[in-house]
Amino acid sequence: MCFSAEASFIVSGTLLVAGVASIRKTVYSKDIPVALIPLIFAVQQLVEGLLWVTLAHSDASPSQFWLSNIYGTFIGIIWPLFAPFAVYRAETDNLRKKIIAMIGLAGIGLAIYTVIGLVNEPIIAEIIHHSINYRHHVGNYQLVIVLYLLATCVPFIFSSYKHLYIAGIIITIGFFAAYFTYLETFASVWCFFAAVASTLIYFYFAHRVKKPLIPLS
C-alpha cells in the first residue's frame, strides 16, 4: 500500500470536516472530548503530510526533527491519555466508567514513559516501502505495544454506545493488521487507519441527536 503527503492531506481535510460537523452536533458538554477526536487526528495527519514533504526534498533539517517528534507526541503521549479520557467522559454506565478509568492508568504510565524516551532519544523519521518509519526504541518492547493497544483501542470497545464500540473494533483490527503487515512502519500505518476510522465519530453524534443509543449490555 502506498502512502504519501497527498494521502495525509486528503485525510486531514476530511477529518477536519467530520470534526467540525461532530462538534456542531454535540448536545452534552461531556461529549466534547469525543467530538474532538477527528480534529486531533486531522492535525496529526497534517503534521505527517508536512513531514512527507520535508523527507522527500531534504536529507535532514530542523523541520524534519520537529515534525517527527510532534508526530511522536501525538502517538505516544496525546492518544494514550486522551482516548481513555474522551470515552470515559462520554460513558454513562458506572461499571464501564470504572473499567475505562483503570485503563486510563495504563495510558498515563505509557505517556510518562514516552516523555522520558523522547527527551533521552528524539525520533528520527525515514521513508521505508512507501511509508514512514519513526525510529525510536520506545516502541520496541512487547509490553509497550500491549499497553498502547489497551490505552488507545480498548476504551472504545468498552463503550456502551454502538458507534464508539464499532470504531473500537475497527481500530483494533487495524492495529493488528498494521503490526503484522507493516511492522517497520507500524506507527504511521496504524495511525492512518485509525484516523480514517475516526470519521465514525460523526455517526455517533448524528445518531445520538435522533434518539438515545441502546447500550450493548
Tell me the longest C-alpha to C-alpha distance in the chain: 53
What distances in angstroms separate CA 48 from CA 9, 41, 89, 141, 188, one per listed residue? 8, 10, 28, 24, 8
**What residue numbers bound the domain in which 145 lies?**
5-210
**108: Cβ contacts below 8 Å, ≥ 6 apart:** 80, 81
Q: What's the rounded Cα separation, in Å, for the pair 48 and 35?
A: 21
Is the pTM higher than 0.75? The answer reads: yes
Whether 216 is in a domain gets the answer no
Whether 217 is in a domain gets the answer no
For residue 124, the cross-strand partners are 135
Whether 72 is in a domain gets the answer yes
The cell numbers describing 160, all together, are 456502551
pLDDT digits over 174-201, tens only? 888 877 776 666 777 777 777 777 888 8
pLDDT digits over 93-126, tens only? 999 999 999 999 999 999 999 999 888 888 888 8
| Encoded amino acid at 104, one letter | G
Count of structural domains within the chain: 1
Element (H, E) at 18: helix 5-24
